[in-house]
Amino acid sequence: MSAIKFACISPHPPIIVREVGQGREGEVQRTIDALEQVAGEIPGHLPETVLVMATHGPMNPGAFVLLTAPSAQGDFARWGAPQVSFRFDTDSELVAAIRDEASRAELPLDAATRWNDGLDWSVTVPLYYLRHGTGDAPLTPMNISFLSAGKHFQFGQAVRRAIDRVGRRAVIVASADLSHRLSDDGPYGFDPAGPELDRHVREAVASWDVEALLTLEEGFRERAG
């Protein structure tokens, strides 16, 4: 049985942070309700370590990035709420295991000794809600690359092997928004591919259809934003 005990996908719009939204967070109450529900489910899995796959952290288009520093911190100063901050220790043993498994699988992985100027919103926004469920468990952030969907899947398998080697009860948070092109009023405008992508991803996740995610056509993904 795998040591991965819980996994979730979390959006990361800063507006859902109350100190940032200042009332506007009510526009996305369903998202907040869902994250609070997830945070309530996590303690029952007795998490001992947490991994967050981020999207706006240190970026190397040709490699995944893993934070190797012993601790990390971040806040919402960029969004006008510097008083909301996080600090936590990372899991050094798990970091070493991930680096080893990625090397064995010949997957490019960069070791980051720092996370830019502090943890970005793709880490801090999910943590604003989920940290209530993960408690004091060490938390290790990673960042995506521009490699293929297949390479990301292989990296996920390497991470799973690393988690199982270490043997601590793990929670994985995949921080990801869906389409950014759902409305003419939005910053990226509307494209019919936007809602179609959202529907496709929801159905694939609900049915555990990995192949449906791995075979999404690149042009379609780009149109959907």
Residues 88 and 30 in one domain: yes
Residues 167 and 223 in one domain: no
- The rounded distance, in Å, linking the Cα atoms of 80 and 21 is 10
User: Which CATH number does the domain housing residue 15 bear?
Assistant: 3.40.830.10
**What would the mean pLDDT of 5-20 be, rounded to a whole number?**
94
Residues 150 and 218 in one domain: no
- The rounded distance, in Å, linking the Cα atoms of 181 and 4 is 33
**What would the mean pLDDT of 20-34 be, rounded to a whole number?**
91
- Residue 195: closest CA among 216, 176, 181, 215: 181
DSSP per residue over 111-175, as a string?
Answer: EESS-TTS--HHHHHHHHHHHHHHTT--EEEEE--SS-HHHHHHHHHHHHHHHHHH---EEEEEE
- The rounded distance, in Å, linking the Cα atoms of 221 and 11 is 17
Q: How confident is the model at residue 224 (pLDDT cuts 50, 70, 90)?
A: confident
pLDDT at 74: 94
pLDDT at 181: 82
16 within 8 A of 25, measured Cβ to Cβ: yes
Does residue 83 sit in helix, strand or coil?
A: strand
Residue of higher predicted confidence among 63 and 224: 63
Residues 135 and 186 in one domain: no
Residues 37 and 103 in one domain: yes
**pTM exceeds 0.75 for this model:** yes
Residues 129 and 197 in one domain: no
Residues 130 and 32 in one domain: yes
Q: What does the DSSP 8-state code read for residue 35?
A: H
Q: What are the pLDDT digits (tens) for 61-86?
A: 999 999 999 999 999 999 999 999 99
Residues 101 and 189 in one domain: no
Residues 6+ apart with CB under 8 A from 220: 193, 196, 197
Residues 163 and 197 in one domain: no
Domain encompassing residue 218: 179-225
Residues 157 and 189 in one domain: no
**What would the mean pLDDT of 146-162 be, rounded to a whole number?**
97
Residues 81 and 185 in one domain: no
Residue 19: C-alpha distances to residues 25, 26, 36, 85 (Å): 9, 12, 16, 11
pLDDT at 159: 98
pLDDT at 136 over 90: yes
Domain count, the chain: 2
pLDDT at 225: 75
**What would the mean pLDDT of 40-65 be, rounded to a whole number?**
96
Does residue 87 sit in helix, strand or coil?
A: strand
Residues 220 and 139 in one domain: no
